[in-house]
Amino acid sequence: MSAGFARGRRLRSTPALRRLTAQTRLSPADLVLPVFVKQDIAEPVPISSMPGVVQHTLDSLRKAAHEAAEAGISGLMLFGIPSEKDPVGSQADAADGIVNVALQQLRADLGDELVLMADLCLCEYTDHGHCGIVTPARGGVRGQGGGLVVDNDPTLDRYAAVAIAQAQAGAHLVAPSGMMDGQVAAIRAGLDSAAFTEVPILAYAAKYASGFYGPFREAAEGAPQFGDRSTYQMDPPNVDEALREVAQDLAEGADAVMVKPALPYLDIVARVADSVDVPVSAYQVSGEYAMVEAAAANGWVDRQRAVLETLTAIRRAGAGTVLTYWAVEAARWLR
């Protein structure tokens, strides 16, 4: 073999060399923890399909938030489960709604130590489980579940009201996830009209109608009671559509964008990251979490190695921030 033969292994021979030459870095600050808080429960409720994840009480959420801050992650994404639901999701913007009370308490406890992100949608709050106002189909539109449709434009008014309530409660950032057309513009206008001009919007800009959301529906108790969400969430085969959705949200005033899910859509994460000059997040969703946990429980994969490898892959694809249910545990490993 000639002396000049290329040897890629030279830079892989020790852990220190591998760290020195790593092209992708993963740190606690890259991670955000999604959390669920449920009204009127006395103890945290385990989520059977997501081992290690719970529906929090207000007190257990405050404890978890302090642990997250100590671990060095950047933020929390809050989802709420109210004790009462109705057709318009009234508890989403009620002053005593569970997420708004949680935001108030966490902001008082932590100040600006963590970024408090509020998921902005109605599916957890409506009795029908859809992400917007449901009305009878009209104008030739074919509905679901007895001719019902999720009505885009009336839903925008509800989103604006929820955004204002979340900002008043102390959210540092609101994150609309309903995939209604025009949602970012409506929310930006609502926030600005209420003097919350400094509250940024992280838009779930490319949110796909995915089969990986199953465990989340147990966690958030927000499964649709009829039909599905394929008329407003994105169709999995489509790439160019994702770029159009991202461009539209940015034109309407989004400050950052998200791709959801993460691992099955790494190509979308990469395309979006290459096309924009704003922060890009990716959400490692409940089904992704459950798959690794199930495989690890059966001894089929090394759990820690698999978790860190998936997070690194999402960062490598171009996501600056990863929402993951492993955020605190992974941060502790990394530190």
- As annotated, the binding site for Mg(2+) includes 245
268 three-state secondary structure = helix
Identify whether the C-beta of residue 123 lies closer than 8 Å to the C-beta of residue 80.
Answer: no
What CA–CA distance (Å, rounded) separates 261 from 231? Answer: 17
Length of the chain (residues): 335
CA–CA separation, 120 and 157 (whole Å) = 12
DSSP string, 81-119: E-S--BTT-GGGS-TTSHHHHHHHHHHHHHTTSSEEEEE
Classify residue 277 by its DSSP letter.
S
Residue partners of 289: CB distance under 8 A and separation at least 6: 50, 53, 215, 324, 325, 326
User: Is 260 an active-site residue?
Assistant: yes
Indicate the annotated binding residues for Zn(2+): 121, 123, 131
**How many other C-beta atoms can be found within 10 angstroms of the C-beta atom of residue 233?**
20
- Collapsing DSSP states into helix, strand and coil, what is residue 260? strand
From the annotation, which residues make up the binding site for 5-aminolevulinate? 217, 229, 286, 325
Q: Considering 38, 63, 85, 260, which one is annotated as catalytic?
A: 260
Binding-site members are: 121, 123, 131, 217, 229, 245, 286, 325
The answer to whether 101 and 170 have CB atoms below 8 angstroms apart is no
Residue 333 carries which side chain, given as an amino acid letter? W
Which residue is catalytic, options 38, 63, 85, 207? Answer: 207
Whether 63 sits among the annotated catalytic residues: the reply is no
- Known catalytic residues are 207, 260
